[in-house]
Structure 1
Amino acid sequence: MTADEMPEGIEVRPFAVPINDGFAREAAETLRGYREMVEKCLLGAAEPSPDSPLRVEMGSVNATPDPLGTARGSFHKMLLQIAAMSWDTALDHVRALEHDIVRKPAPVWSPLVLARAVLESCLLFDYLFEPSITGSLRLARGAGLWRKDTNYSMSLAKILEEDEEAAALNAYVTKALEDCNIIARTNGGGEITGYVVDGQTSTLDYNITNRSRTRLPGWMPMPYGLLSGAAHGRPWMTDRARLLGEETGTLVGEAATVVAALQVAMASMEMGVKAWQGYFGFSFEADLAELDQYRQLMSLRLLGFAHAAE
């Protein structure tokens, strides 16, 4: 019997088995192949199209009189850098997941934690590059994220008793946003809750669970609760690994966990490719179709490896 054939006469719960070496190797290679397809797709992209949201927004900024035009141009450039950094961070975690799958002893919950890191980086990328929103809303979203991160940085600075650095950072961000005519929204206590740009309003941050539900491809069930259970070490999630390993007294990793991590990573990268396509006006339809076909074949092939006879 070959590795991708199923034993006859055996009732199988798909992937509900401990990780074996052959499955681990094939799963890692499958994910690596998908990532390389995504990277090849982006490397082969042409120049942004003239009617893309990117070009439209840059044209609008360039047509804005100074000093507002220059200030918004600098801020828009920073958002592009942040989004690109988020995408690179996502791919870094995908590479880490490829190596984690084949480690010894076999992983238990770490694949889901790495997949969550991929998802969150891609969600941030998509949040800033979402093609359908206006340029003004993009600036408002960017302002909210910048303020939120600044608050975290200030809290750390205060813990380290670096009050002057915290005050300087707050002053810098406040002035930069004011120079862009980005107006803060506050609650009754005077705390900033979001920003307004040319009538477009955004909060300081986005709801990760809700955004996962609405922005991931339709073939991906809402995964965030599962990922959070693993990342937070909640017993309702982690106890399964103990039950599987009762005979040996150790936690046992399951093929289903690896497959779930691969699906999340692939769905996240697909979401990112669509954001690249929409915002820059690239043409990735053929690439996306190839990625979808690859993903579907992967599930069938990995099933055989997971349940191969020892």
Structure 2
Amino acid sequence: MTDDEIPKGEPVRAFAVPITGKFATAAAGVLKFYRERAENGFPETAPPTGSPFMTDIATMTAMAEPEATARMSLHSMLIEIVGLSFETALDHVRALEHDIVRDPAPVWSPLVSARAALESCLFLEYLIDPSISCNLRLARCAGLWRKDTDHASNAARVFGPEQQAEAASMDAYVTQALADAKALERRNARGNLVGYEVDGERATLDFSITERARTALPAWLPMPYGLLSGAAHSRPWMTDRARKTGADTGSGLVGEAATVMTALMVAMASLEMSLKAWQGYFGLDLGETLDKLEEHRRQGHLYLLGMAHAVES
């Protein structure tokens, strides 16, 4: 039997088999090809007039000073964060490519890398969602910037006085920058900061990753975040499966091809979501790139299905 055939007459639970070396190598290759095409699929053209990006720029430059400059500065930081988020996602996908082929085979680590890539892409999509207004975009950025500054201040307490002074200086800078941009603080009845408002548009300090994943990811991917979190947080309901699989083979924890495939699909869906958000916001034509990614994903899935269930002759 060839290595891409599925045994006939036998029930097959897709990818519910241990990871083999051949499968791991093939899976890593499929993901690498997908990631490289997504990474290099951007046209070298400027955003066209009428794109949400250019509309945002026009909205801000039409405002009176100094508010116009303050909001443009906040928007520039937003774009910088978006680029950083995409680069971070690519870094996690590259790590996943290498993790898949390690010996001994991975158990849960692929899902952790996929979760990290997903969160980076959700961060990107949340900020450049092409369906929202410029004011809501800035309100979202204000909330995330404030939340990030708070995290930095908390971390500085561990490192010492010098880091605490730097964090305090950044906190003051952020407070002033948001005030200059007329990003108004929103507080609850107890006086706690809960978000920001920009010209009537409101956003929280952060966003629900679970809810964002449910609405922003491609429809072809079932909601994966519970599985990813179960692996990342080492919840027994999730991790015990590897022990049971290992018991069947007389070994310790055993990773399944299904885990690798879930990680691949999440990584691919995350990059697709990012490219679609980028296309929508900047008005760039990524249609050819997205079509090729879709074709590669479909073909790769079928190829790896046969590889996972191959029977040696």
What TM-score comes out, normalization by structure 2 length? 0.96
Q: Which residue is equivalent to 1:101?
A: 100
Question: Which runs of no fewer than 5 residues in structure 2 stay unpaired?
Answer: none
Q: How does 1:228-267 map to 2 (within 5 A)?
A: 228-246=229-247, 247-267=249-269
Matches of 2:14 and 2:131, distance apart in 1: 38
Is the counterpart of residue 3 in structure 1 residue 12 in structure 2?
Answer: no
**Does 2:130 correspond to 1:131?**
yes
Query: Is 1:214–2:215 an aligned residue pair?
Result: yes
After TM superposition, give the deviation of residue 192 of structure 1 in Å. Answer: 0.9
SS at match of 2:41: helix
Give the 5 Å matches for 1:65-84: 65-84=64-83
One-letter amino acid of the structure 1 residue matched with residue 159 of structure 2: L
- State the match for 1:152 in structure 2: 151
Secondary structure at the aligned position of 1:185 is classed as strand
Question: 2:19 matched to 1:19?
Answer: yes
Alignment of 1:57-72 (within 5 A): 57-72=56-71
Please report how far the alpha carbon of residue 307 of structure 1 lies from its aligned counterpart in structure 2 after TM superposition: 0.9
The worse-fitting range, judged by mean Cα deviation, of 280-289 and 226-235 is 280-289
CA distance in structure 2 between the partners assigned to 1:159 and 1:288 by the alignment: 44
Partner of residue 190, structure 1: 191
> 2: CA distance between counterparts of 1:161 and 1:95?
34
After TM superposition, give the deviation of residue 164 of structure 1 in Å.
Answer: 3.5
The answer to whether the Cα contact below 8 Å between 2:18 and 2:254 also exists between their aligned partners in 1 is: yes
Give the gaps of 5 or more residues in structure 1.
Answer: none
Shift, 1:248, TM fit? 3.1
- What amino acid does structure 2 have at the position aligned with 1:278? G
Please tell me whether the aligned partners of residues 28 and 99 of structure 1 are also in contact (alpha carbons under 8 angstroms): yes
Q: Which residue of 1 aligns with 2:306?
A: 304
Matches of 1:176 and 1:191 in 2, distance apart? 20
Question: Shift of residue 69 of structure 1?
Answer: 1.1
**Secondary structure of the structure 2 residue equivalent to 1:9:** coil
Measured after TM superposition, the shift of residue 196 of structure 1 is: 0.4
The CA RMSD over aligned residues, in Å, is: 1.2
Q: Distance in 2 between matches of 1:175 and 1:257?
A: 47
Q: Distance in 1 between matches of 2:187 and 2:2?
A: 64
User: Given the alignment, which residue of 273, 280, 283 partners 1:281?
Assistant: 283
| Cα distance per residue 1:106-162 (max 9 Å; x no partner) | 000000000000100000000011001001101000000001111111111233343
CA apart distance, 1:285: 2.1
Residue 176 of structure 1 aligns with an amino acid whose one-letter code is A
Tell me whether 125-134 or 153-162 shows the greater mean CA deviation: 153-162
CA distance in 2, matches of 1:49, 1:2: 51
Amino acid at match of 2:133: T
Amino acid at match of 2:106: P
Secondary structure of 1:27's counterpart equals helix
Structure-1 residue corresponding to 2:49: 50
Amino acid at match of 1:225: G
1: CA distance, partners of 2:225 / 2:40: 28
Percent identity, aligned pairs only, is: 56
Counterpart of 1:116 in structure 2 is 115
CA distance in 1, matches of 2:178, 2:149: 12
Q: Matched residues in 2 for 1:137 and 1:281: separation?
A: 19
Assess, with a 3 A threshold, how the Cα gap between structure 1 residues 190 and 160 changes in structure 2: closer, same or farther.
farther
Rounded to whole Å, the distance in 2 between the matches of 1:139 and 1:228 is 29
SS of 2:9 mapped into structure 1: coil
Moved more, 147-156 or 61-70: 61-70
When normalised by structure 1's length, the TM-score is: 0.97
Q: Aligned to 2:132, what secondary structure does the other structure show?
A: coil
The correspondence for 1:292, drawn from 275, 291, 294, is 294
CA contact (8 A) 1:45 1:282 kept: no
- Could you tell me which amino acid in structure 2 is paired with residue 205 of structure 1? D
Q: 1:45: Cα distance to partner?
A: 4.2
State the distance in 1 between where 2:134 and 2:223 align: 28
* Aligned twin of 1:271: 273
In structure 1, the residue matched to 2:224 is 223
